[in-house]
Amino acid sequence: MFNKLTDRFQQAFRSLTGRGRLTESNISDAMSEIRKALLEADVNYQVTKQFVAEVREECLGEAVMKSVTPGQQAVKVVHDKLVKLLGESAVPLELSGSPAIIMLCGLHGSGKTTTSAKLALHLRDKQQRKVMLAACDVNRPAAIDQIEILGQELGVPVFLDRELKDVPKLALMAVEAARKQGCDTLILDTAGRLQVDQDLIQELADIKRRVQPKEILLVGDAALGQEAVSVAEHFDQALGITGIILTKLDGDARGGAALSMRQVTGKPVKFVTVGERPTDLEVFHPDRMAQRILNMGDVVSLVEKAAEQFEEDEAKELEARLLKNTFGFDDFLSQLNKIRKMGGFASLLKFLPGMGNLPLDQHINDDAFKRIEGIINSMTLKERRQPEIIGPPRRQRIAKGSGVQVNEVTQLLKQFSQMKAVMAKLGQGGGPSLGGLFGGGMGGMGMPGMGGMGGMGMGGMGGMGMGGMGGMGMGGMGGMGGGGGSQSANQAAKRLARKKMAEKSKKKNRKKR
C-alpha cells in the first residue's frame, strides 16, 4: 500500500543524504517533495501541512545543520515525526471484565466479520484468552453463516440465534453464554450499512448501553482513504470508539488513512490486517510502520514471525543433524513450509531494510516453493535422506515425476550440498551455533533452510523462478539490518528472540506439569 509513498520519500532523501552541508534551499526542495508525496497518498491536508512544518523547522535547527552527517540527521527527523504522527507507541486492548467485551463496528464491506475471527484467533493464540464470537448482524443471514463457518474452522465458539431480532438482547444473551462456557473474552460482530445512518448508530448505542463493552473498535477500510477517516469521526462522535482496526493494508490503495487516522480522530489504530489468511492480523506499532514506509525494514516484526514458527529444541536438533551430516530433504522441505507459513519470501523481504519497495513479483516467485516441493516429493525416502545416491538415472526419474527439467533437479542437488557444507562450518567453530544465531538474522532463526539459501546463492535457482535473488544473495537476509538497519535494531531483535524462546519454554514446562 505504501510503495509509491516510499518511492517518493526516497526521492526526497536523495537530495539530502550524501551532502557534507545542507542549505535552506536543499531542505525546502525536500520538504516540497514530501508534501506532494503525502497529499498524493491521500493524507489529510491539515495533517500534511503540520507534519511538513514541524519537519522543516527541526531540519533548519542547529542539531541538523551543524551535524557531521546532516542528511542522515534530516532523515531521522522525518522518521521521528512520522512515528509521532502514527501514534508514538502501540496501544494494548483493555481486557478487564468477566468476560471482557469487544464490540466491532463499521460499514458494509470493511471486513468486520473476517476481522472479528482474526482478532479472536490473535487473542487466543497470542494472549492465551478463551474467546467467544457473537453474531449480532441479524439483518444479514449470510453474516451469521459466515461467522459460524469461521468459528468452526478456527475452533472458536460462536453464539448465534437466527430467530431473535432484538440485537441488544442478543448481545446480553451472548454475555451470559460466554460466562457459562468459561470464556474470558467476547467479540460482538455487529451490523453494518453502506453509509453511516441513524438506525445503525441507534442499534450500536443500544448494544453499548446494555452490555457496556470495554472496547469499541471501528473496522475501517484503508482503501477508502480520507473517507475512512471521515467514517471514523462519525462513529467516534456517536459511540465514543476506543480504537481502530485498519483492514486491507496489503492492497494497492494510497494508504493516507493510516497516516491521518490518529491525528484527526485522536483514537489509536490498534491493529491492521495485511491479507486474507486468519493469521494476517498485526498489532499496529507506529515505529515499525514508520520504518516500513521509509524503507528501513522492520526486523523486530520479522523475528516475531519466525519465533512463532521455530522452536528452540527444533533448532538444536537441526543443528545436530547438520553437524552429523544427516540433514536431508525432508528437513529442508519442513523449513521451506515454515517460511511459507510466515508469508513466503516475497512477504518476508518487505521487512528487510531497502527491500520494501522492490518489484517482488519479478524478483521472488513463491511458486518456486511448489517446484522444489514437487522435486522433493518425487524422491524416494532413501533419496531424501541420502541425496548423494541420486545419479543421472534417478535424476531423470525425479524430473519426470515432478514435471521439471533434469537440470533443475541437478541444480537443487548441487545447491543443497553447498548449503549443508556452509551450515556445517557455521557449527564447527567457524561461527556461532545455529541455536545462538537465533535473533541475529534470518540465517539464525533455527532455519537451516533459510541459512542454506545463503549458501545456495539463489542465483542457481533461476530456472525455478528465483533468479532475482542471485544479486542479493541470502546473505543480505542473514545480516538483516546491516544493510540499512541500525545496530540497535539488531540488538533489539536478538533480545526479543531470546524473550520469545524463554516464553515458549515456560509454556511447555507448564503443560508438562
Same domain, 119 and 60: no
Q: Which residues contact 466 (CB under 8 A, 6 or more apart)?
A: 345, 364, 365, 368, 458
CATH number at residue 421: 1.10.260.30
pLDDT per residue rounded down to tens, the chain (513 residues)? 576 777 888 887 877 776 667 788 888 888 888 898 888 888 888 889 999 999 888 888 877 777 767 778 888 888 899 899 888 889 999 998 889 999 999 988 888 999 999 999 999 999 999 999 999 988 888 889 999 999 999 999 999 998 888 999 999 999 999 999 999 999 999 988 777 788 888 999 999 999 999 999 999 888 887 788 888 888 998 899 999 998 887 766 666 777 888 888 889 999 999 888 898 899 998 888 888 787 665 555 666 666 666 666 666 776 676 666 677 888 888 877 777 776 666 666 666 655 555 554 544 556 677 888 899 999 999 999 889 899 999 999 999 999 999 999 999 998 888 877 776 665 555 444 444 433 333 333 333 333 333 333 333 333 333 333 333 333 333 333 333 334 444 455 555 555 655 665 666 555 555
Distance CA 207, CA 211 (A): 6
Same domain, 206 and 244: yes
How many C-beta neighbours within 10 Å does residue 9 have? Answer: 24
Q: Is residue 513 part of a domain?
A: no
Q: Is residue 94 part of a domain?
A: no
Nearest to 473 by CA among 304, 303, 300, 349: 349
In the chain, how many domains are there?
3
Domain that holds residue 33: 3-86
Same domain, 416 and 314: yes
Q: Look up residue 202 and give its three cell numbers.
A: 441507534
Same domain, 331 and 469: yes
Distance CA 154, CA 146 (A): 12
Distance CA 285, CA 375 (A): 40
Q: Can you tell me which residue has the cell 453509509?
A: 195
Provide the b/e sequence for 377-416 (b: ≥16 CB within 10 Å): ebbeeebbeebeebeeebbebbbeebebeeebbbbbbebb
Q: Which residues contact 168 (CB under 8 A, 6 or more apart)?
A: 203, 206, 207, 209, 210, 211
Last residue of a domain, one of 259, 294, 329: 294
Amino acid identity, position 247: T
Nearest to 420 by CA among 399, 377, 449, 400: 449
